[in-house]
Amino acid sequence: MMCKDLDTGEIITIQELEHRMVASSLAEKASTFPVDGLKDRGNKKPVKKEGYLTKESRGGLMKNWKRRYFILEDRQLKWVATQGDSTVKGTMDCSECKLSLVPESSKPHAFKLTDSKMVTLTMVADSAQEASDWVAALASAQFQRVGLVNFELLRTLGKGAYGKVLLVRKKDNGKLYAMKNMSKSTVLRKDNVGKIKTENNILRALDHPYLVNLKFAFQTPGALHLVMEFLPGGDLFAHMKRHKRFPEEWVRIYSAEVVLALAELHAQGIVYRDLKPENIMMGSDGHLKVTDFGLSKSNMEEDDVTTTFCGTNEYFSPEMLKGHAYGKEVDWWTLGILVYELLCGRSPFYAGTKNKKDTYERILRAPLAFPEAVDISAAGKDLISKLLVRDPKTRLGYGSEGASQIKTHPFYAETDFEALMRKEVEAPFVPKAATNATDTSNFDKHFTSQAPRVSDADLFIDPEAQERFRGFTFVGPEHE
């Protein structure tokens, strides 16, 4: 369907008009919408937008239009007869509404909201700009109880396949968080909506001392945002680069914390599938937390298997490389790779070439060998050897008692796992003390030197595609 852009005179599609209208307003503008004459309303919810609109009304079989004064507070839209009138004529909850534009041939500057009961409210603005402001404000109301406007961007901490991670400060309480910012267009292009939803749902369910904690999740028109606890110690990979390899006593504690994290995931029916030093963060107390659940598989019962090929080259299990169905035991293989790498400073199947097929060949066939220059106890070698058994059914950790088998291995004979769960065991290493609350010296300078910017927050996404992200918003129970 075609319509006219009143600013340029062009005849364009209604989708292109939506693009121009929404993209013209920055995401933060969509969250704040300063309007002349608006005052602080005390305990009332903040007003995002207000003003006159002409509303479609129906009387019997007749359709007519009435001018009303609309007020958008938080996610609630209400209207009164005139500005200042205390008698509310009607309301609509925008959080579960579908927002769309009306073709200009039918009504210029018009847009409509349809709620979950299929009740449609059609409104007409006085100008294209006013319509654009309302569309952006309503889009913001749909997406968030908490939004970008609530956070101050401080540093860039890292970047990944879908976006970046930023250090942010919540304005109302001054607390620091790590915010993962993901472009919706990238997620859609890579057909990974399901993966992002899975990560969000897993994070919501987690409450464990060695798994990262989700605080908020919200959307802007073009991006997804996961706000998690900030772990100032950086990732374990960065510390490995500095130390080259760790003493066995350190590795015993670090790996035990990872065992507890994986055991919790498995107990909740989750196969992690991406264990590596880059996905293990260190808190200010020196203890570890596993993060990044984008490749995890949820709803896995005890005997369930899956076949998705995913993970990191040097950590792939033999059964995954062979295309066989696999279960939770793939995580114990990666634990074996991790323990070896922490002790020896490199992967046990490192091929020394850039050809990943060489690495795969070594994973499948090369004998496990330990470097003579590294002093590893017999118990340490035995643990690694039993975790890196190529047949998953004879691998240490296979079956319903997997975590218990590992915790009772001689390598952990002196480890008090109950005390570790209570964090009563001293961390082997405490990262360099922060010079201030926003110190990011434990993160890669390549990223921290970059200006903290949110990507694609205001990018237009087709309304039908937006429906695929419904239900993403989350506020942790401590923030309700």
The catalytic site residues sit at 274
Question: What is the longest distance spanned by two Cα atoms in the chain?
Answer: 89
Burial string for 447-465 (b: 16+ CB within 10 Å, else e) reads: bbeeebebbbbbbbbeeee
Burial string for 30-40 (b: 16+ CB within 10 Å, else e) reads: bbbbeeeeeee
Q: Which pair of tokens denotes residue 434?
A: 């922060």
Q: What is the 3-state secondary structure (H, E, C) of 421-441?
A: HCCCCCCCCCCCCCCCCCCCC
**Rounded to whole angstroms, how far apart are CA atoms 253 and 279?**
17
C-alpha distances (whole Å) from 362 to each of 309, 326, 393 are 18, 20, 20
